[in-house]
Amino acid sequence: MTGPVTLALEGPPGAGKTTLLGALVPGLGDTALFFSEPNIKLSRGTGAPVHSSPAAHTLWYLRQEQARAAALRAVPADVVVCDRNHLGVLAYTFAARRQAAFPYGKAVAYYRRNIAPLYDTRLRTVILLVSVAASLTRRGGKPAHPRWRQWYDPRLLERMRQFYTEHAPDLCPNPPLIIDTDPLTPAAVLSAVADELRAAGASLPASLPAAPHAPTVDARFADFYRQFGGAAVLGGTVTDAFPHRGGGVMQMFQLASLIHTRDGITRLWNPFDLLPTHDPCGAIPCPVPPHA
């Protein structure tokens, strides 16, 4: 098989994925296509869960990953960067209480049957590890929004770390690059990931910029960002606004990205727009405010 080098960024909360994305995405620019972490809050159409149950939500994430894995075969880019690619939902089902998620065994069986065969050796998985103490410290010790409370549960964080160290390597098509970020600077992590991409055959700039510190919401996106629920739905800012593919400017957030096109329209970034076909399951975010 041929195609772009796909970089899957994985790891527990607070490991540094967001900081890494803040440097990689604008640094790679037009050579790359990127997928934000799937966001069920923005889902519309037949792919959205009908019932708000843990099992239905887990299945939505698995189907979202299946659709993306199939689409990556025809991506018009040299590099694809995915936040929480093929292991994130499995990590959650492993770590969560049984009543809060799809059973882990069933999730793994679905992954092995429907998702794993779609990937090949061009997929490179980078797992960023972090201790529970460092994870909490880096994220301020408490959630900014109540719905994120579970991601600050020390038991959940420890179980996720156990999954990424003991189980995840056997689920990757290639041996993953595992980086313990506790003693490292963001620049050191970025350098290691850039080396991994180059080893996989990706063409990278000679140097990548450091991620901006706490970027603000660009004025071109401010109204749209608030309309969609702000940080509670889209997450905090990851990058400053940057030009992309001649179509205007973009800004990346933790749980989505926005694009301001040349004709003055602001909308959700949909990477599937650049692919020959769309997801037939309707799992692509639709630009309709969740609070409308």
SS (H, E, C) 102-164: CCHHHHHHHHHHHHHHHCCCCEEEEEEECCHHHHHHHCCCCCCCHHHHHHHCHHHHHHHHHHH
Which pLDDT belongs to residue 29?
Answer: 85
Which pLDDT belongs to residue 276?
Answer: 62
- Give alpha helix (H) positions in 168-240: 186-199, 222-227, 231-234
pLDDT, one tens digit per residue, over 36-67 is: 888 888 876 556 666 667 788 888 889 989 98
CA angle 74, 221, 33 (to 5 degrees): 15
User: Rounded distance, CA 191 to CA 214, Å?
Assistant: 21
Which pLDDT belongs to residue 51?
Answer: 64
Which pLDDT belongs to residue 160?
Answer: 95
Which pLDDT belongs to residue 205?
Answer: 84
Which pLDDT belongs to residue 291?
Answer: 36
| Domain edges within the chain | 5-210
Which pLDDT belongs to residue 47?
Answer: 62
**Which three-class secondary structure state does DSSP give residue 191?**
helix
CA distances in angstroms from 210 to 57, 186, 187, 206, 217, listed in the order given: 35, 8, 7, 13, 18
pTM: 0.88
Domain 5-210, classified CATH 3.40.50.300, yes or no: yes
Q: Which of the residues in the chain have pLDDT under 70? A: 1-2, 44-52, 85, 276-292
User: Rounded distance, CA 60 to CA 43, Å?
Assistant: 10
